[in-house]
Structure 1
Amino acid sequence: MFAPSPATGSRPVRQPTDWRKVGRRAAFVWRAVSGDTLDGKPRTDRTWTHRGTPLTTKREDGRMPHSWDSLSRLEMAGLRAFGGFVATGTGVAAAVEPSETLQSLQLSGVGAAAAAASWAGFRGMDGVVTWKHRKHWIWPLHVVLRDLLGLPEGVKPSDYLKVPADYAERAGDVVRVELPGTWAPGTDASAVVQAVTSKLALQDVKATVRLKGGKHHITFTQAPRAPQRVMYSDPEVAERVHKAPASAPFLGLSHRDVAVSIDLDDESPHIMFSAAPGGGKSVLAKAFAAQVLHHGGIAFLIDFKRTSHKWAYGLKNLMYIRSEMDAHFLLLALAQEGNRRMAIAEENVHRELRGEPPLPMGPRILLILEEANTLRKRLAKYWAKNKPEGTKGNESPAVEALGEFLFMGRSQLMHALLIGQSLTAQTVGGPEMREAFTARILARYTQNAWRMLVPEVSPIPKASRHSGRVQIVLAGQAHETQVVFMTDEEAKAYATSGVVTNVPSIEQLMRGTDTTNSRHSEGTHQGEQVVSDTTGRPLRVVPDPDQGEPAAPAEAAPISLSQAARTVCAGVAGPAQPGVDTPQEKRDLMALRNARSRDKQFPDHVALKGKEKLYDPTELERWARNRIKASAESETAETGTE
């Protein structure tokens, strides 16, 4: 049953040598010491002395090889020999001095762990800081380039793309694209250049293809960017402002110090400015308005925040509106002024046909709407509370008047500067009203805001956090611009120099008073202009019976300050402080007298009764509503902060 046991002292039978197995082991050892791949399958075209061609692969699955596989065989053999020596030395030391070796390994492990933790922390923090940059800019570009360049599957953007997070604000070499080693000289790189330029929204760049040695790449050199600051105090900037024509105020400097402006007569009669808080909205409005006023224009500023433009306090050629009531009547008056100017434009056509000189249109009118996001809502609330009984419709006539104003423009010399944070079509008054703004300025914008306001401009330029850096979009092109900065004193001085035109009151506009008779320069005045049609009859505007507002309010008789303290300005001093028993009327009179001497926006007297000055009660009432210390009881909507 059982095989006999081998005899004692007999030798075991030797198995025949498997030379194939020996050969495989020898080949493995040879590949290990010679720096070849351990499985013998080539992954790159590296040699003993040359590294593998960048961004190429010889893997069977076509995937991108590891960076180790691109080292030359001698480099890889040296690294493996060094690792072997370290392992062997550690083993010998452990056999001879085990305790000291263990302590050394512990210290080395702690150091290695600390280094690994530092590296991981750096990479993690860098990933958190740059993830938006990689998500919105690097990855979309990589998706396009990997097909254009024929890159292996699995290649990472960091393997061949170098795009710093602040590339949009740098000058010089800002972007570098590594090309595959198989890229032959003479290959058309226009598709790659177009992809990089469009995906990164580069402006004013030059692409250079370099095929030197084994590292082929394309470098994108960006022209000098817009300056960090454009100060009016700089003599060169001031000279540019002074040389700017009346219809095209100087806005700032773009790349290569190119001056940027928007011609109100030829390019866009109205301008829209959308920006997040701190984007320079008030700075641009100040510089723009000061230049319009300097050339004889007049401005109306609606600012429900009440203090956005301190430089404009007390200007004779600018009316500062802070209440819904005055904003309501101002828009109605401007619509009537627009109708009057349209009649003048029609008359000028007939005069041109007859070879007669044209009638003067009047001064250029600039309407500035600060924080326009709340304008329509405030006007609607005011109209809902104050509309006459029996009036049909809930739409505020002031909103309709604003629409009429926007549909006018270059021929009537009437312009609007709309400023806000999120200027949706509903905020402006409808898509057709927003289309009146052919020039649009954006700063610190989101991609949603860009797609909403200027969808025709693609790709979206990278938004800058630099104060005063804006994108001026005109005729489908975006121009990165650094806005000119004027101090309050500089803006006021420039606005009151040159030709100064006294701004008419709201009542004068609604009565159709000619606005060309109040312009003066260096103490001289122009005479009144008579406007008539072809039959010699005075031009007049027929009020719309459905508008619900009188076209020409009755002119009130002038009153003294003591009368104003009892009537239109009653309570202007506010409630009495504890312990004060002075009558309210006396305190109101004292407040009016103090304001007359201190407040630059206090209205001028219109007549004299002996030595006593008399004032327009309507102007006094408007001053009381719009003065800085007035309580905004009717202003309940939020306006945000700049």
Structure 2
Amino acid sequence: MKKTALPATLSFHAPDLREQIEALPEGTALIGLSTTGHAIAVDLNGECPHVLVCTATGGGSTTVLRSLTAQFLHQGAHALVLGPKRISHLWAKGLPTVTHRGNVASIHDALVGLGGELARRLTLTDTELAAAPRLIVSMDSAHHALRQLARYWETFRDKDDPATSPAVAALEEALWSGRAARVNVILNGTPATRALGAAPHELFGTVILARVSASAWQRLAPFAGPAPKPSEQPGRVHVAQHGEEAHETQALWMTDADVVTWLTDPDDTQS
């Protein structure tokens, strides 16, 4: 298929792009534009409604996490933003429909709370669930966060407590049961199979990769064929979705300021 020239940066401020994003149906968010000229999006209403983002340092994974989470928030979702780096998602602080947590103790407590919310939602009728806001669980540096959570639990658990961290167990349950509860997970990183109890490609319907090794590609997106040649173009990723070939894509760029202005003052067309 013929490739087309893409801009070096696909900015939220590109002509007509914001309008196209705002016209997307609920549960759908733009990842970016493919080199064949097509919009590449994620649909959380699909069969496997979670997203995995994995790139080498500087590959844009935090940017992708931010832009996807922001789009779902704009559609009325609520979000639990977990960032063990603490400074990666400062845009999330202070927004009324966002809970932001940045240290291991607060991330642990937030995920335990998520387990309770997931259990509650699974008891709702279809009508009650349809009226509940979608809940996005957006975790940055997932591999590091999951290791921190495991160590934290080992430090504080009593001898009669389960060996597995209840926070990790709640996240795993959200991945398996989230579709039935309007709970969707966006992870940035390479969660170890031993942490979540399944191969990543079994849990994530959309996998966004950039600058990863051939072995990492095979582990995270084995259904998408051999690993393509990595691109050094900032924001250039490959999007693998079940049943489709991987699409080389220029990811949407939204700054912290773009997100905050868009979510707090949606009538400001200059954001």
TM-score (norm 2): 0.91
8 Å contact from structure 1 (residues 272, 440) kept in 2: yes
Are 1:425 and 2:226 an aligned pair? no
8 Å contact from structure 1 (residues 294, 495) kept in 2: yes
SS of 2:87 mapped into structure 1: coil
Partner Cα separation in structure 2 for residue 432 and residue 461 of structure 1: 21
Please list, as runs of the form range in 1=range in 2, the aligned pairs for 1:282-301 lying within 5 A after superposition.
Answer: 282-301=62-81
Aligned to 1:474: 241
- Call closer, same or farther: CA 1:253–1:267 in 2, change over 3 Å: farther
Partner Cα separation in structure 2 for residue 433 and residue 278 of structure 1: 22
Deviation at 1:433, TM superposition (A): 6.3
More strand by share: 2
Identity %: 32
Partner Cα separation in structure 1 for residue 200 and residue 216 of structure 2: 17
Aligned to 2:208: 441
Are 1:454 and 2:224 an aligned pair? no
Please list, as runs of the form range in 1=range in 2, the aligned pairs for 1:217-616 lying within 5 A after superposition.
Answer: 222-344=2-124, 347-348=125-126, 358-361=127-130, 362-388=132-158, 390-420=159-189, 422-426=190-194, 428-431=195-198, 435-476=202-243, 477-497=245-265
Question: Quick one: higher RCO (CA 8 Å, sep 6+), 1 or 2?
Answer: 2
TM-score (norm 1): 0.40
Q: Deviations over 1:354-403 (max 9, x none)?
A: xxxx2244111111111111122211221122223x42442211111111
SS of 2:223 mapped into structure 1: coil
SS of 1:409 mapped into structure 2: helix
- Call closer, same or farther: CA 1:225–1:461 in 2, change over 3 Å: farther
Amino acid at match of 1:462: K
Amino acid at match of 1:308: S
Deviation at 1:495, TM superposition (A): 2.3
Deviation at 1:411, TM superposition (A): 3.0
SS of 1:472 mapped into structure 2: strand
8 Å contact from structure 1 (residues 262, 268) kept in 2: no
Aligned to 1:166: none
Between the two proteins, the alignment pairs up a number of residues equal to 265
Query: Could you say which structure has the larger radius of gyration?
Result: 1
Partner Cα separation in structure 2 for residue 309 and residue 266 of structure 1: 27
Deviation at 1:267, TM superposition (A): 4.8
Please list, as runs of the form range in 1=range in 2, the aligned pairs for 1:37-52 lying within 5 A after superposition.
Answer: none
Deviation at 1:340, TM superposition (A): 1.2
Partner Cα separation in structure 1 for residue 170 and residue 23 of structure 2: 35
- Call closer, same or farther: CA 1:432–1:424 in 2, change over 3 Å: closer
Deviation at 1:255, TM superposition (A): 2.5
8 Å contact from structure 2 (residues 50, 206) kept in 1: yes
8 Å contact from structure 1 (residues 251, 484) kept in 2: yes
SS of 2:28 mapped into structure 1: coil
Please list, as runs of the form range in 1=range in 2, the aligned pairs for 1:199-218 lying within 5 A after superposition.
Answer: 204=1
Q: Deviations over 1:427-453 (max 9, x none)?
A: x52225652112111011111111111
Partner Cα separation in structure 2 for residue 496 and residue 269 of structure 1: 27
8 Å contact from structure 1 (residues 441, 471) kept in 2: yes
Deviation at 1:270, TM superposition (A): 0.6
SS of 2:222 mapped into structure 1: coil
Partner Cα separation in structure 2 for residue 310 and residue 332 of structure 1: 23
8 Å contact from structure 1 (residues 226, 256) kept in 2: no
Partner Cα separation in structure 1 for residue 47 and residue 150 of structure 2: 32
8 Å contact from structure 1 (residues 376, 429) kept in 2: no
Partner Cα separation in structure 2 for residue 475 and residue 384 of structure 1: 36
Partner Cα separation in structure 1 for residue 47 and residue 261 of structure 2: 28
Deviation at 1:463, TM superposition (A): 1.2
Partner Cα separation in structure 2 for residue 332 and residue 295 of structure 1: 26
Q: Deviations over 1:285-339 (max 9, x none)?
A: 1111111111111111111111012222221111111111111121111111111
Listed as ranges, the gaps of 5+ residues in structure 1 are 1-203, 205-221, 349-357, 499-642
- RMSD between superposed Cα atoms in Å: 2.0
Deviation at 1:493, TM superposition (A): 1.6
Listed as ranges, the gaps of 5+ residues in structure 2 are 267-271
Partner Cα separation in structure 2 for residue 443 and residue 413 of structure 1: 28
Aligned to 1:557: none
